[in-house]
Amino acid sequence: MTQIINWGIIGLGNVALKFAEAFKDSNNSKLKAVSSNTEDKINKFQKKFNIAKDYCFNKYEDLLDCKEIDIVYIALPNSMHKEWVRKSIERKKNILIEKPAFIDLSQIENIKKKILNNNLFFSESFIYRHAPQIFEVLELLKKNTIGEPKSMVSNYGTNLLTKKNIFGLIKKKKIEKKKKINGNCKKI
């Protein structure tokens, strides 16, 4: 029988929403708990992901104190990462953190020893590190199937022209509006 890993999410913004949606395809992990200081976000996650009310917290500490949580995903603003990583370590929680994990190198130096001393998992959320195509390319390189690389160009991202920005405006519409003002702009 597969052991289920119980996850908790601290900070329930758009990135956390995308992360939470991935649990529907997992057979060894479960989104067990969420925490936010915004009640509407908690309610949205509770309904969308069928999270028991007892595991919906309006204080981040309460999620970290939950004994049933094996790992916490920290999806808070960057300036809050150091504090919540430290508090997660104090409670012996494994950590996945949204990038960038820390604002500067000095922040990680102190935390690094604590993570190692407590034998905790810690990773920054870089999806491409775990994407199947990366493992396939590495295997092809090891076997010398594609020869010795001379250079590599890689892109991973989102088409920002079709996504909402932080103000909720669609950038594509801005471009089309700009086109009306300046006939030299091409529609993308």
For the stretch 68-90, pLDDT in tens is: 999 999 999 888 888 999 999 99
Which pLDDT belongs to residue 187?
41
**What residue segments make up the domains of the chain, in order of their start?**
5-127, 161-188
Which of 8-12, 50-54, 143-147, 181-185 has the weakest average pLDDT?
181-185
Task: Give the residue-averaged pLDDT of 25-33.
Answer: 92
Q: At what angle do helices 81-90 and 105-117 cross, to 10 degrees?
A: 10
Quick check: 185 pLDDT over 60?
no
| Residue 169 clears pLDDT 70, i.e. is over it | no
Give dist(CA 125, CA 136) in Å, integer: 20
Q: What is the pLDDT of residue 170?
A: 44
The rounded mean pLDDT for the chain is: 81
- Collapse the DSSP code of 73 into the 3-class scheme (helix H, G, I; strand E, B; otherwise coil) and give the result: strand
Residue 128 has a pLDDT of: 67
Q: From 3.40.228.10, 3.40.50.720, 3.20.20.140, 3.50.50.60, which CATH number describes the 5-127 domain? A: 3.40.50.720
Tokens found for residue 165: 């920005």
> Is the entire prediction scored with pTM above 0.75?
no
- CA 34 – CA 41 distance, rounded (Å): 9
- With pLDDT > 70 as the criterion, what percentage of the chain qualifies? 78
pLDDT of residue 162: 61
Q: What percent of the chain has pLDDT over 90?
A: 41
The crossing angle, in degrees rounded to 10, of helices 39-49 and 14-21 is 10
Side chain identity at 129, as an amino acid letter? Answer: R
Average pLDDT over residues 41-56: 96
Q: Give the angle subtended at the CA of 120 by the CAs of 119 and 126, to the nearest 5°.
A: 135
Summarised one tens digit per residue, pLDDT across range 105-162 is: 877 888 888 888 889 988 777 666 767 888 888 888 899 998 888 887 766 565 556 6
Q: Which position has the higher pLDDT, 173 or 120?
A: 120
